[in-house]
Amino acid sequence: MASEHSRPDYPTEMVKEGRVDVLVPKLSAFVQKPSDYAPSKAPVFYNPVMEFNRDLAVLAVQTHQRILGCDIDVCEPLTGCGIRGVRFAKELKGVRSVEMGDINERAYRLAAYNVQINDVDKIAVVKKKEANLLLSSHSVPRRRFDVIDIDPFGSPVRHLDSAVRASRNNGLIALTATDMASLSGVHPKACIRKYGGKPLRTEYCHELAVRLLAGCLATVAAKHDVGIDVIFSHSGEHYVRVYAKIKYGASNADESVKKMGFILHCFSCFHREILRGPFWVEHDRRCSECGSTLSLAGPLWIGKISDREFCRMMQEEAHTRRLRHGARIQKTLRLIEEESDGPPSYFVVDDMCDALNLPVPPVAKVIEYLKRKGLQVTPTHFNTRGVRMEAPASEFADAVRELSTEK
């Protein structure tokens, strides 16, 4: 075992994140030209930009453990350098075990080294296994996990089936998807092929990406008579993230399927409609506001994509920790909590003003104006210029016109 825990033979550096110090590839040593994406060029994958993602993962998993009220078993089957799994083992209370895995020999050795230097080897174990094989080996009762965190470079869909089978009842599955070109509509064929739903290149495409990912998980889980509840989700610059609670039983699977549907979008007047149900039914595909042809996204998840109480508990947990991105985390969690009960999709002030050829008013003024009219309106964490509201696009357009022409 000594060789497994020895320092790597490629350029590395020590970094501090949360409460851990880990050895990671020195990314600057693997960049040969400006277009190189350093994390994927290194012998072992490590992305420093995802620290915010990992911070929220620590808060979400700890919140889930508090709700369960018992010791939990955690799995990270795509561990890379091991930083996420080591943080789980070091920073979380009530964790019985953290099982980490990677098929990459160098990743396996580096993760094992980081487990050792952080003194978490009594909790964390690293296995040199392909992710689906690792998860499938835990698909029988009494060997399953309470939390499975899948954070790949690209799409997580190839691991969904084995993750569902390896999850305990009331367990938590966390998924990251970084293939945003597919999910946001740049490559729609790839999205249909991978996620089983059609994307759209709208101003709220990152929310659609969350809903497509959640819908794909719900569809896979339903095949095993398993339902899901999406209790938290968020979007970053180049990824989306979904946390879903697993609920055993055919009736729960049926309830999840009922939360599938379609979003119809008008690119002429920004009108959008929600069609509930996993199957497309006959629709005239004409906008009820302007008569233009409506574009379709889905099937996708049209239920809630965050739970207000879970967000509140995450904020409480964040207050107890000293995190480098603490202020950003609190702001993000407040926004997600505020918008958690809102309808699917949101409007973007700048896009509406561009379409109407109007100057752009401040978002805060738009929200204040709409609230004075008695509407339920919130900002959104998906877009700093976004407004989520229970009202048609025409009312949003009227508000923008009024404020843009105001002296």
- Please say if the pLDDT value at position 87 is more than 60: yes
**Taking residues 305-325, what's their average pLDDT?**
96
* Token pair 């508000």 in the structure block, residue: 399
Residues 215, 298: contact at Cβ < 8 Å? Answer: yes
7-39 per-position pLDDT tens digit: 788 889 999 999 999 999 998 888 777 766 778
d(CA 83, CA 45): 10
Q: Are strands 226-235 and 240-248 parallel, antiparallel or unpaired?
A: antiparallel
d(CA 339, CA 291): 30
Q: Are strands 124-127 and 95-101 parallel, antiparallel or unpaired?
A: parallel
**Confidence bin at 41 (pLDDT 50/70/90):** confident
- The one-character DSSP state at 249 is S
- Please give the pLDDT value at position 2: 40
**Taking residues 390-406, what's their average pLDDT?**
91
Region of poorest pLDDT, from 130-144, 273-287, 341-355: 273-287
**Confidence bin at 1 (pLDDT 50/70/90):** very low
44-63 per-position pLDDT tens digit: 999 999 999 999 999 999 99
Long-range pairs for 374-382 at CB < 8 Å and ≥24 separation? 376/342, 378/335, 378/338, 378/339, 378/342, 379/335, 379/338, 379/339, 380/207, 380/335, 380/339, 380/342, 380/346, 381/234, 381/235, 381/332, 381/335, 381/336, 381/339, 382/204, 382/206, 382/207, 382/235, 382/346
- Please say if the pLDDT value at position 3 is more than 60: no
Of the candidates 192, 253, 208, 235, which has an alpha carbon nearest to the alpha carbon of residue 345? 208
Per DSSP, the residues of 59-92 read HHHHHHHHHHTS-EEEEESS-TTSHHHHHHHHH-
For the chain, the straight-line distance linking the first and the last C-alpha, in angstroms and rounded, comes to 74
364-396 per-position pLDDT tens digit: 999 999 999 999 999 999 999 999 999 899 999
Question: Which residues, other chains included, contact 309 with Cβ-Cβ below 8 Å and sequence gap of 6+?
Answer: none
- Please give the pLDDT value at position 237: 82
Q: Are strands 167-177 and 240-248 parallel, antiparallel or unpaired?
A: antiparallel
Of the candidates 72, 98, 83, 58, which has an alpha carbon nearest to the alpha carbon of residue 232? 58
399: which 2 tokens?
A: 């508000």
d(CA 366, CA 75): 44
Helix, strand, coil percent content, the chain, rounded in steps of 5: 40, 25, 35
Per DSSP, the residues of 337-373 read HHHTTSPS--EEHHHHHHHHT-PPPPHHHHHHHHHHT
Q: 3-301 domain in CATH 3.55.50.30?
A: no
Residues 283, 275: contact at Cβ < 8 Å? Answer: yes
d(CA 246, CA 266): 35
**Confidence bin at 90 (pLDDT 50/70/90):** very high
d(CA 329, CA 241): 14
d(CA 155, CA 159): 9
d(CA 272, CA 266): 6
- Please say if the pLDDT value at position 105 is more than 90: yes
CA dihedral 126, 132, 134, 140 (to 10 degrees): 150
**Taking residues 119-127, what's their average pLDDT?**
97
**Confidence bin at 75 (pLDDT 50/70/90):** very high
d(CA 336, CA 234): 8
d(CA 255, CA 221): 12
**Taking residues 278-287, what's their average pLDDT?**
78
232-268 per-position pLDDT tens digit: 999 988 999 999 999 999 999 999 999 999 999 999 9
Range(s) within the chain of domains with CATH label 3.40.50.150: 3-301
Of the candidates 104, 128, 115, which has an alpha carbon nearest to the alpha carbon of residue 20? 115
Q: Say which CATH topology domain 346-407 has.
A: Phenylalanyl-tRNA Synthetase; Chain B, domain 1 (3.30.56)
Q: What's the maximum distance between 2 C-alpha atoms anywhere in the chain?
A: 74
377, with CB counted inside 10 A (0-12, 13-18, 19+), is buried
CA 123 distance to own-chain centroid: 26
Q: Average model confidence (pLDDT) for the chain?
A: 94
**Confidence bin at 5 (pLDDT 50/70/90):** low
Question: Residue 105: in which H helix or E strand, if any?
Answer: helix 105-117
Range(s) within the chain of domains with CATH label 3.30.56.70: 346-407
